[in-house]
A and B are shown apart, each in its own frame.
Chain A
Amino acid sequence: MMSLVKAAVGGFMGVCRAHGHQQGPLAGHLKILTAAMKTFDIPPDYSGVVLPAKPKLKYMNKVPNLKKAKKEAKKLRDIQGPAKTANAFMTGQYAIVAMGGGYLHWGHLEMIRLTINRKLDSRTTYTRWRVNAPYKPITRKGLGQRMGGGKGAIDHYVTPVRSGRFIVEVGGKVELGEVEHVLIEVAKKLPFPAKVMSRESLAAFQKMQSDMEQNNQNPWTFKQIAQGNMLGIRKVLSPSDLHNHGRYTGKFWLQGRV
């Protein structure tokens, strides 16, 4: 009996559709209406998430608050190699991670701050800086000046960033999909290659690296040859190559090594 009723309903619907316009070759054919169960995904549980009082990114000064600004040597080794600090999650869930070294100046930091503060909802998300305000002075000589005559005057300040360092951390009652597009927009504008990572994706990335080390079929590794100075190869390698096992060249991180 119910099947008849269902068919009647379906039949009427089918008949109505049959009298509609622009019918294809298979139109008006029977549509079997049966009851079914809709399954829903369980939404994530945000009960343990605490939003801080100030969820937005703080303003960063262009110039540090020093009594006497001293000129500093170039020291490009603060860009070289992997990051030892700020390379893990603190309180947030998602972060922009640098995949190469470089200097962030005030313009970059302002861009990050303004974009993120404008685009993220402060009621559900909070963000934190993982880099310092610019502290390293960069000097410049005036235009047209010849070589010599001492070091130039301090022009601006920068923050050195090593490969693997976190720039900005985002947390709150959001999923990655809601936040990803904003962070990618920022990551593309940085002076070094950067990626958006979540806790899980970072763990997966690190696991992938360790798996590569484990199941490498190549009997020869850079580390082994450099440490043993096989064939006197240390003549063409630098001490940093020895440290970093050939995964970094200058400020660049070489993907796929080891």
Chain B
Amino acid sequence: MAATLCARFLPKQGWLPLTQGVRHGSKAVTRHRKPIHFLKQKLLAVTKYIPPPRPVPPDAYPPETTLVQEDSGFVLLLKRDLKKVFQDHKMVAVVQNSGSNAEDMITLKQRLYKHGISVKFFPNQVMRSFLSESVYCNMTPLFIGPTVLFVSKEPKVKEMLSALRASPQMILLGACIEKSLLSAQGVVSYSRLPSVTVVQGELVSGLTMLTSQTSSMLQRHPAHLSALLHQYIKQQSPNDGAEEAT
């Protein structure tokens, strides 16, 4: 950093060269980034930070531990409502509405209300978590997309189907009628079933058919009965004789 004058042969006494070469390097603290000695560069390169290896990118797989969020107060309220719905109502039908107008909705609701069917809306997530805890867990695949619940205390399926036929956007997905799950076709066939009293009457008549026939026959005149028996014997004996001859 000091000025160095080469020891030169000075021709004259007291002669100083016109230019003086001043050699200096930069200080340790500079405004610019000082050029680093190559060996120091190598040292810095060798001692770089190497982070711990990550086997997979962090978001490649779903997390092992799913965060279980506590149900908020509103969700608990909805679940209580759902529980009451499933307890009180015999028929719970799941219908998908692919974009119905407000007016259509009002008319549909009016038509259903006349038969005692009410329309309920519940968020799918709440529905799914409620169903997974309750007995009706097999209904879970029905609740995908924009769904509506038609609930009624008495299973009035025919009226519901007629109302649904009127609105083309509402598609019946399935129903839980009297604790039995039915698909859409099952609901249609359920609607075609005769009423309970009719079915009971048919069953009773089928069971008592034979006994009623015999009782009606025995009530006829005994001479008629004996004539029938004689005819029967005659039929039996010629049949035996014909078989022995051949």
Counting chain B CB atoms within 10 Å of each CB, which of A29, A39, A225, A257 scores highest?
A: A29
Q: Which B residue's beta carbon lies closest to that of A29?
A: B99
Instruction: Assess the B28–A32 pair: CB atoms within 8 A.
Output: no
Interface residue? B205 (CB, 8 A): no
Instruction: Assess the B29–A79 pair: CB atoms within 8 A.
Output: yes
Interface residue? A251 (CB, 8 A): yes
With the chains together, A8 CA to B119 CA distance in Å? Answer: 13
Q: Which B residues are CB-close (under 8 A) to A231? A: 39
Q: Which B residue's beta carbon lies closest to that of A241?
A: B40
Question: How far is the CB of B43 from the nearest CB of chain A, in Å?
Answer: 6
**Which B23-38 residues have C-beta < 8 A from chain A?**
27-30, 33-34, 36-37
Question: How far is the CB of B129 from the nearest CB of chain A, in Å?
Answer: 17
Instruction: Assess the B100–A29 pair: CB atoms within 8 A.
Output: yes
Interface residue? B46 (CB, 8 A): yes
With the chains together, A201 CA to B101 CA distance in Å? Answer: 52
**Which B3-52 residues have C-beta < 8 A from chain A?**
27-30, 33-34, 36-37, 39-40, 43-44, 46-52
- Contact flags (1/0) for B100-125 with A, using CB distance below 8 Å? 11111110011001000011110000
Instruction: Assess the B51–A3 pair: CB atoms within 8 A.
Output: no
Instruction: Assess the A76–B39 pair: CB atoms within 8 A.
Output: no
With the chains together, A29 CA to B97 CA distance in Å? Answer: 11
With the chains together, A176 CA to B102 CA distance in Å? Answer: 46
Instruction: Assess the B47–A222 pair: CB atoms within 8 A.
Output: yes
Interface residue? A92 (CB, 8 A): no
Instruction: Assess the B49–A36 pair: CB atoms within 8 A.
Output: no
Interface residue? B61 (CB, 8 A): no
Q: Which B residues are CB-close (under 8 A) to A225? A: 43, 46-47
Question: How far is the CB of B95 from the nearest CB of chain A, in Å?
Answer: 13
**Which B72-109 residues have C-beta < 8 A from chain A?**
72-74, 97, 99-106, 109
Interface residue? B241 (CB, 8 A): no
Interface residue? A246 (CB, 8 A): yes
**Which A188-234 residues have C-beta < 8 A from chain B?**
212, 215-218, 220-222, 225-226, 231, 233
> Which of B39, B43, B120 interacts with A222 by CB under 8 Å?
B43
Question: How far is the CB of B149 from the nearest CB of chain A, in Å?
Answer: 10
With the chains together, A7 CA to B105 CA distance in Å? Answer: 8
Instruction: Assess the B102–A217 pair: CB atoms within 8 A.
Output: no
Interface residue? B206 (CB, 8 A): no
Q: Which B residue's beta carbon lies closest to that of A77?
A: B29
Q: How large is the interface on B (under 10, 10 to 19, 20 to 34, 35 or more residues)?
A: 35 or more
Instruction: Assess the B40–A237 pair: CB atoms within 8 A.
Output: yes
Interface residue? A53 (CB, 8 A): no
With the chains together, A36 CA to B123 CA distance in Å? Answer: 11
Q: Which A residues are CB-close (under 8 A) to B201? A: none
Instruction: Assess the A233–B39 pair: CB atoms within 8 A.
Output: yes
Counting chain A CB atoms within 10 Å of each CB, which of B30, B39, B47, B109 scores highest?
A: B47
With the chains together, A26 CA to B169 CA distance in Å? Answer: 14
Q: Which B residues are CB-close (under 8 A) to A76? A: 27-29
Q: Which B residues are CB-close (under 8 A) to A171? A: none
Interface residue? A31 (CB, 8 A): yes
With the chains together, A60 CA to B73 CA distance in Å? Answer: 57
Q: Which B residues are CB-close (under 8 A) to A132? A: none
**Which A233-258 residues have C-beta < 8 A from chain B?**
233, 235-238, 240-241, 246, 249-252, 256-258
Point out residues on A near B: beta carbons under 8 Å. Answer: 3-4, 7-8, 10-11, 13-15, 18, 26, 28-32, 34, 36-37, 39, 76-77, 79-80, 101, 212, 215-218, 220-222, 225-226, 231, 233, 235-238, 240-241, 246, 249-252, 256-258
Would you give 17 A-B contacts (Cβ < 8 Å), ordered by A? Answer: A3-B109, A4-B110, A10-B102, A15-B102, A15-B103, A18-B102, A30-B102, A76-B29, A215-B52, A217-B52, A218-B49, A221-B47, A225-B46, A225-B47, A233-B40, A250-B33, A252-B33
Point out residues on B near A: beta carbons under 8 Å. Answer: 27-30, 33-34, 36-37, 39-40, 43-44, 46-53, 72-74, 97, 99-106, 109-110, 113, 118-121
For the complex with contacts A3-B120, A215-B51, A258-B47, 11 further pairs of A-B residues with Cβ separation under 8 Å are A11-B106, A13-B102, A80-B28, A80-B29, A212-B49, A216-B50, A226-B43, A237-B40, A241-B40, A250-B29, A251-B29
